[in-house]
Structure 1
Amino acid sequence: MTDYYEINARAYFERTNRIDPAPILTPLLPHLRAGSTILDIGCGSGRDLKWLKGKGFKPSGLERSPTLAIMASEHSDCPVSIADLFEYQPPIHYDCILLIGTLVHLAKPEFPQALRSVMRMLKAGGIMLLSMKAWGGSEKSEDGRVFQLWSDSELRREFGRQELTILEHTRSRSLLGNRDVWLGYILKSGQ
């Protein structure tokens, strides 16, 4: 999926940057301390980095698309690394990791390894905010991207296997104004 996001970086930035992230991120705030370190994996436009920095946190981003990484860093004034989450070697362990729509393109058999990769970047007892498209199976968008759709029970099963505790769960419509429904989870690592 890097190619899509690299080729369409400007359009993706414009489409996602204008969305207010408060409905997604505000539920996370009670679970964080002032100055918490946060890694936004798949940070896209940097919208969430900017919002979190404005709240007094220490966010940084991880983005596979070099063009989006540069745009996100410039927009948010936060550091953004260019890498794949499976290969990234973080300089620190984070208090919190965001995966907002980040894992939607992974085939379901890759999901457990992705969670393990993310958990190795978290501090013990760290917090994760994850959102995935709801329903089941997969769908292909008009632009050719394939999205994996998940049921709540499938995700809960995976979280249990990874010893992640669900602190909060939401089900909401996409902020892009389309028909998509998203499942959101605030999780705590048991490591």
Structure 2
Amino acid sequence: MVITLSPSFSGLLGVGSWLYHYQNLQNHQMRVRCFCYSLHVGIDHQDRSAQTQFVLFSASDTQNGIKIMSNPIENTRTFYEENAESFIARTVHVDMSHHYKHFLKSIPAGGRVLDAGCGSGRDTLAFKKLGYHLDAFDASSEMVKSARDLTGVDVQQNTFQNFTSAAIYDGIWAYASLLHVPYVELPLVLSKLAAALKNNAPLFASFKLGEGEVTREDGRRFSMMNEERFRALLAEVPELKLENIRIVDSTKKITPAEKWLCVLLSKRN
């Protein structure tokens, strides 16, 4: 990994928003925090073991006299912790059958499926009722509790960044979950998911259609996506092949004008 920082720390003062880079150096058992005006990072994508986190900040908190913003990734998780009940009530009964048919057509009967970022457990339960063997995880402890209660599956609390698995899955379902992963981290996350798939097995994912990385008033952060941006992203993940890409209407009555980008991928042999 190559990191170039410029200009000097003194250039920070008076600037409204900053990129904060945190890296845990295990060999030295220390933590390094670098504040920088401009951070340019080049990653060798062959080194899939690199563990780096990038977090955007703005002027809302103060650290050492410098105003910074709270961690938007943690803000997203906090939203689901504090609003799990209302979020589940709005989404648990949404009809997803038209998406299921695209995903399940290449998965053998009784196959093993991972619901990655399972939320309420709605889709986990649907796949379980169809006879598939399910594993699931979510970053929110409240969502994990609710999904366990709903599905009877031993849902795990985990993040995409920390997820690892051998190639045991006949399919991975990531509906409206990868969209919370920072764009710069998506190639590594997709590579981890690919590593968990059997050859030719499908990966389904969906993103809100749009441009850039957006933080909503409720604190949730989204990596918006369009076809051009996704194809550029996928070029960094040679393990996966694009099978289908569609723009669809929202499945939620509360957001009828919203559009989504749905992608179906498969793992190359």
With normalisation by structure 2, the TM-score equals 0.67
- State the match for 2:115 in structure 1: 40
- Give the whole-Å Cα distance in 1 for the aligned partners of 2:161 and 2:218: 25
Q: Which amino acid aligns with 1:140?
A: T
Aligned pairs for 1:109-120 within 5 A? 109-120=184-195
Q: Which amino acid aligns with 1:75?
A: L
Q: In the TM superposition, what is the alpha-carbon distance from 1:150 to its structure 2 partner?
A: 1.2
- Give the whole-Å Cα distance in 1 for the aligned partners of 2:99 and 2:260: 11
Are the aligned partners of 1:21 and 1:51 in contact in 2 as well (CA < 8 Å)? no
Are the aligned partners of 1:62 and 1:69 in contact in 2 as well (CA < 8 Å)? yes
Q: In the TM superposition, what is the alpha-carbon distance from 1:77 to its structure 2 partner?
A: 2.0
Matched, 1:156 2:231: yes
Q: Tell me how large the CA RMSD over aligned residues is.
A: 1.7
Are the aligned partners of 1:21 and 1:47 in contact in 2 as well (CA < 8 Å)? no
Matched, 1:172 2:245: no
Q: In the TM superposition, what is the alpha-carbon distance from 1:92 to its structure 2 partner?
A: 6.3
Q: In the TM superposition, what is the alpha-carbon distance from 1:61 to its structure 2 partner?
A: 0.8
C-alpha change, 1:110 and 1:154, in structure 2 (3 Å) is same
- Give the whole-Å Cα distance in 1 for the aligned partners of 2:94 and 2:118: 14
- State the match for 1:181 in structure 2: 259
Are the aligned partners of 1:38 and 1:59 in contact in 2 as well (CA < 8 Å)? yes
- Give the whole-Å Cα distance in 2 for the aligned partners of 1:153 and 1:103: 17
Q: In the TM superposition, what is the alpha-carbon distance from 1:111 to its structure 2 partner?
A: 1.1
- Equivalent position SS for 1:144: coil
Question: More deviation in 174-183 or 160-169?
Answer: 160-169
Q: In the TM superposition, what is the alpha-carbon distance from 1:94 to its structure 2 partner?
A: 1.0
Aligned pairs for 1:28-177 within 5 A? 28-90=103-165, 93-163=168-238, 164-177=240-253
Question: More deviation in 97-106 or 153-162?
Answer: 153-162
- Give the whole-Å Cα distance in 2 for the aligned partners of 1:26 and 1:180: 22
- Equivalent position SS for 1:161: coil
**Larger RCO, structures 1/2 (Cα 8 Å, 6+ apart):** 1
Are the aligned partners of 2:124 and 2:136 in contact in 1 as well (CA < 8 Å)? yes
- Equivalent position SS for 2:188: helix
Are the aligned partners of 2:165 and 2:195 in contact in 1 as well (CA < 8 Å)? no
Are the aligned partners of 2:116 and 2:173 in contact in 1 as well (CA < 8 Å)? yes
Q: In the TM superposition, what is the alpha-carbon distance from 1:73 to its structure 2 partner?
A: 1.5
* Identity among equivalent pairs (%): 25
- Give the whole-Å Cα distance in 1 for the aligned partners of 2:246 and 2:130: 22
Rg comparison, structure with higher value: 2
C-alpha change, 1:67 and 1:91, in structure 2 (3 Å) is farther
Are the aligned partners of 1:43 and 1:61 in contact in 2 as well (CA < 8 Å)? yes
C-alpha change, 1:146 and 1:85, in structure 2 (3 Å) is closer
C-alpha distance after superposition, 1:137-174 (max 9, x if no partner): 13332312121211101112222331222222221111
- Give the whole-Å Cα distance in 2 for the aligned partners of 1:82 and 1:153: 32
Question: More deviation in 82-91 or 127-136?
Answer: 82-91
With normalisation by structure 1, the TM-score equals 0.92
